[in-house]
Amino acid sequence: MILEKISILNYKNIGDVELQFSPKVNCLIGNNGMGKTNVLDAIYFLSFCKSCTNQADSSVINHEAQYMMLQGQYTRRDVAEHITLSMQRGKRKRVKRGDKEYKRLSQHIGLLPLVMVSPLDWDLIRGAGEERRRLMNHIISQGDAVYLDALIRYTKALEQRNAMIKNEYRDPLLYETVEAQLCQAAAVIHSAREQWIAQFGPVFMRYYQAIAGGREQVEIIYKSHLAQATMQQVLGANRERDYIMGYTTGGVHRDDIELLLDGHSMRKTGSQGQCKTYTIALRLAQYDFLKHNTGITPLLLLDDIFDKLDASRVESIIDAVSDKRFGQIFITDTNRTHLDEIINRLSDDYMMIAVDHGACKPIVEGGVQS
């Protein structure tokens, strides 16, 4: 899949920009805080109908504007796709594929597969289990509409059950319908996550070894209440505790991924460089997973990936992303040397774009100065 062109209007600090992209490598160069990440975030928003920062939708609209609009022209499986996403302050997002507006945003998820490596990925290591569940959901739902539907149904049923608990309903018979919905959706979610970890884990470990030079052993383990019991059994066993706590304490909404380095928790023992390597390996494995399971080559967005890494790991990452199996790449950096090295290895077909206070100007295209 290729993003041919993007139009950005009133998105964060970007006023009005239209960019044509190379089908291979697109580099955004500029000082920190100039808007490089905002360009990547606009591309991300077109795929997922939300910011990569998970901030409130209204916060992405330029402070001096009342609306924002993003338009992307793609080639997907040799077919042109035009996506328009617009939003006014205080109103809902509107997303169109061609001239047809989606009734539900979930219908759009998975159409434009994308993987983004970001400094925010640090939360995957140091953050709570919610961050790692979000990773699982983000990866699996892009290629599995049944899983995404199960997530939506589970979340709705969980909210209903929690409301009943807070309203002090105590008769188990009153919970039968909502718990049946929870159990049905939980079975789909748990099964998909088990299948995902079996496929994803070995690919992740190969990427980590390639970047770290084989010096460390890593592992990811899926942890779930449903590993030893059904959802119905979990609900039954925790019922009295749920009444006391005021919410549903057990289920797939409490799942987690244990991240290990040489048999120990990465969160507790990993250095900054090791944690950064871990998150990059997770994202590159995500790329392979999506490409294999969707049959579409995702976009790869690399935001400030070289920070906190020693020279050998930087070299290994450049080697990894230089592999021909990667399709269109967007990469930001303040260091022109890193970008030039990637370009030299990857392709003669590239675009270099300077970003300064939200203004974007192509400076080099395919090796020719603009």
CB of 83 closer than 8 Å to CB of 144: no
Is 30 among the annotated ligand-binding positions?
yes
Is 34 among the annotated ligand-binding positions?
yes
Is 33 among the annotated ligand-binding positions?
yes
Comparing C-alpha atoms, which of 5, 116, 112 is closest to residue 53?
Answer: 116
Q: What is the token pair recorded at 165?
A: 């608990």
Is 35 among the annotated ligand-binding positions?
yes
CA-CA distance, 329 to 2, in Å (whole number)? Answer: 9
Which residue is listed with tokens 């199960």? 150
Is 277 among the annotated ligand-binding positions?
no
Residues β-bridged to residue 29: 333, 354
CA-CA distance, 202 to 191, in Å (whole number)? Answer: 18
**Residue 263 backbone class (left: φ over 0; alpha: ψ -120 to 50; beta: rest):** left
Is 62 among the annotated ligand-binding positions?
no
CA quadruple 294, 297, 301, 307: dihedral sign: positive
Is 246 among the annotated ligand-binding positions?
no
* ∠ CA 32-33-36, rounded to 5°: 80
CB of 318 closer than 8 Å to CB of 11: no
The phi, psi pair for 28, rounded to 5°, reads -115, 120
- What amino acid is encoded at 283 in this protein? R
Is 54 among the annotated ligand-binding positions?
no
Residue 200 CB contacts under 8 Å (≥ 6 apart), including other chains: 139, 220, 285, 286, 289
CA-CA distance, 369 to 254, in Å (whole number)? Answer: 53
CB of 178 closer than 8 Å to CB of 251: no
Collapsed DSSP state (helix, strand, coil) of residue 83: strand
Residue 5 CB contacts under 8 Å (≥ 6 apart), including other chains: 18, 19, 20, 21, 72, 73
Residues belonging to the binding site for ATP are 30-37
Binding annotation: 30-37
